[in-house]
Chain A
Amino acid sequence: MSRAVEESNRRLLRARDAMDRSYAQALDVPSLAKIAHVSEAHFIRTFRATFGETPHRYLQRRRVERAMFLLRETERSVTDICLDVGFASLGTFTRTFREIVGESPTSYRSQGQARDVPTCFSMMWTRPSSFGEARGQTGS
């Protein structure tokens, strides 16, 4: 474990934190790579090597986690929620949601309850897994 790897980890974590913080914004690879102080190609490659998934997939999971909550706990329309969490297209949102969660946004709706824990834990532990997708689906 070299100092260079530690510094790379820390810079990439800074970019990942930016995704958690600004998930609803139109984040792109150039702006995230800039936060990590690396080239775009290097950013995608090293992010995946460090965190086990691409930055695109990480951001999708953050957005889907927020969408899952809004679907569960509010009466807002699927389209409204799709746009609110950062997806630009309902088709992409529905396809991504199904791929990650294993069912459509509509069928997921009205399941589960909010838990009385600090929000950071709610965010981390209610996020759908990307490592052996839900319902046994594969791919990233």
Chain B
Amino acid sequence: MIKNITHSSVYVLDQDDALDFYVQKLGLEVKTDADLGFMRWLTVNVPGDPEREILLEKPGPPAMDEAAAGQVRDLLTKGALGLGFILQTDDCQKTYEELKAKGVEFTQEPVERFYGTDCALRDPFGNHIRVSQPAANPTSPDPVEFVKS
């Protein structure tokens, strides 16, 4: 039986820039930063949740040829790679204000929904990341909630 998600991955253009963003700005912590020779295995996790790692992967040879890597970079910087992941917080508004003060680029301010309060941001490369505060008592979709978006 499958029990958990331990690793997920987002593509980044530069792993040092990724570290600066995900650790210094978002507040995640480095789980592993290892030179494997053929690649730099770089993962981060939410503080207190080391069992769930996010791989910050740079597209390129030998995993994919330069042409394919170029296509990935193209899609990434166009914002076309879809949702990276959703982070959870106890206070979405406060997190939004703290991250905005650090220069994080938000695409959506915190908005209350039937499922909670969430906002959206992009990393420096174009990945779409959301920060969500679950509702204490989630309800069914309320059309009025959607009007705000």
Is the C-beta of A51 less than 8 angstroms from some C-beta in chain B?
Answer: yes
Main secondary structure of the interface of B (DSSP, over half): mixed
Contact of A114 with B146 in the complex, beta carbons under 8 Å: yes
Contact of A14 with B105 in the complex, beta carbons under 8 Å: yes
Contact of A118 with B143 in the complex, beta carbons under 8 Å: no
Is the C-beta of B128 less than 8 angstroms from some C-beta in chain A?
Answer: yes
Contact of A73 with B146 in the complex, beta carbons under 8 Å: yes
Main secondary structure of the interface of A (DSSP, over half): helix
**With known contacts A50-B78, A116-B140, A17–B147 Cβ distance under 8 A:** no
Inside 8 A of A7's CB, which chain B residues have their CB? 77
Is the C-beta of B79 less than 8 angstroms from some C-beta in chain A?
Answer: yes
The contact string, 1 if C-beta is below 8 Å from chain B, for chain A 101-133, is 000000000000011101111110000000000
Closest-CB distance, B127 to chain A (whole angstroms): 11
Contact of B149 with A119 in the complex, beta carbons under 8 Å: yes
Is the C-beta of B41 less than 8 angstroms from some C-beta in chain A?
Answer: no
Contact of A120 with B83 in the complex, beta carbons under 8 Å: yes
Contact of B108 with A21 in the complex, beta carbons under 8 Å: yes
- What are 11 of the A-B contact pairs (CB < 8 Å)? A1-B73, A5-B77, A9-B74, A13-B77, A17-B107, A51-B78, A66-B149, A70-B147, A74-B143, A119-B146, A120-B108
Q: Which residues of A contact B (CB under 8 A)?
A: 1, 5-7, 9-10, 12-14, 16-17, 20-21, 50-51, 66, 69-70, 72-74, 114-116, 118-123
